Amino acid sequence: MPSIAEITANDVISRANYCYMFCAVLGFASGVFLFCSFCKSFRARRNWIWLDSLLCALTISEFIILLCSISSLAHRPHFLKTTNLNCTLLSFLFNVAFFSGQLLLVLMGFFLTFDQDPPSLPLLQRARDSPVVCVALTTTVSLLSSMLLAGLLGARQSPYEQAHCRLDPCQYGDGYEITKLLLGFVLPNLLLLALLAAGAIIGRGPSGSFLSRLKAFPVFLAVVLVTFVCRLFYSGMLAKRVGLPCREGLSSPLRPGQEALMSVAEFVLFSGSCASLVLVLLLHGPCRESLRSTARHLSDCCRGVGGREANRHIMAPRIEITVPQEDHDQ
């Protein structure tokens, strides 16, 4: 029979689950619309710049995190039960998207800091002209980091054993948590902070080019801020697992109250991905214009349908002409 602490923890997790459902629907709709908008802009080659390529890759990463969150959304307050191998594969996919999104923000910060017109370095010119190569580089680093974390999980020892699974599974030892905290949060945010500081120092001149670029691309700062806050909370809860023994048959060594906070932190992380998708849709110029165009088109369609329905109820005037009969008796 569950204790009062477990019942209370499950109630908190269920409430967080219900709140996240709204964010998931909003994020999913925003992601689908962003894919359509980016595909349309790329095919038309209409003002397509390096930022569009990086934001498109960021959208894919955040959308993958959103899809991975279904494993938590569908089973909480309990956990997905599957084999260690399947759990490792799910965690691998989640970590690839997790690292990729963080590295793409670092890459955007690098371009915004050192980008000049014309570029001062030939290497920067080639990188700006080949954003796909930069995206491929970040994806490669993300794959290697995720493979390292998958190896630290140790699923090869009993790959087909059933276990409770979460996106950051519990394993014996602290290598997984420490490595993910360093590679997924500490190092990328230190790089971002260094790039922003360098941009502020470089842009202190009369031209203020760095600040003008930040004002021209407000989506960067908005996504960085939301991502940092959400991942800070999640990383703090992940750090609580460091040094705690992993209990047999359980997905986490935390107590019920701590486990509830860990689950809430997961939903906050997922909500950050949803918020990033919404911010890209609302703050990135081409996507915002595409959204406005779609809204105007739907409004015109609704007005057209409403006008046709109203005209159906208006009777057409009918004119009758009567000819008086002649009096034949006269």
Point out which residues pair with 80 in neighbouring strands. 165
pLDDT at 238 over 60: yes
Tens of pLDDT, residue by residue over 263-299, are 899 999 999 999 999 999 999 888 888 889 888 888 8
315: left (phi over 0), alpha (psi -120 to 50) or beta: beta
Q: What is the CA radius of gyration of the chain?
A: 28
Q: Rounded to whole angstroms, how far apart are CA atoms 150 and 307? A: 60
Total Cβ atoms within 10 A of residue 54: 20
Domain ranges of the chain: 27-155+169-292
b/e 178-209 (16+ beta carbons within 10 angstroms → b):
eebbebbbeebbebbeebbeebeeebeeeeeb
Please give the residue that has the higher pLDDT: either 116 or 264: 264
Q: How far is CA 119 from CA 47, 56, 60, 260, in A?
A: 19, 23, 28, 50
Tens of pLDDT, residue by residue over 119-164, are 556 777 777 778 889 999 999 999 999 999 998 887 767 778 888 8
Token couple for 148: 């390292």
Give me the phi and psi of 253, to 5 degrees please.
-85, 5
Overall average pLDDT of the 233-262 stretch: 75
Q: What length does the chain have?
A: 330
Query: pTM for this one?
Result: 0.86
Overall average pLDDT of the 318-323 stretch: 56
Task: Note the helical H segments in the chain.
Answer: 4-44, 50-68, 70-73, 84-114, 122-129, 131-153, 175-181, 187-202, 209-216, 218-239, 256-283, 285-312
The architecture that CATH gives domain 27-155+169-292 is Up-down Bundle (1.20)
Please give the residue that has the higher pLDDT: either 27 or 206: 27
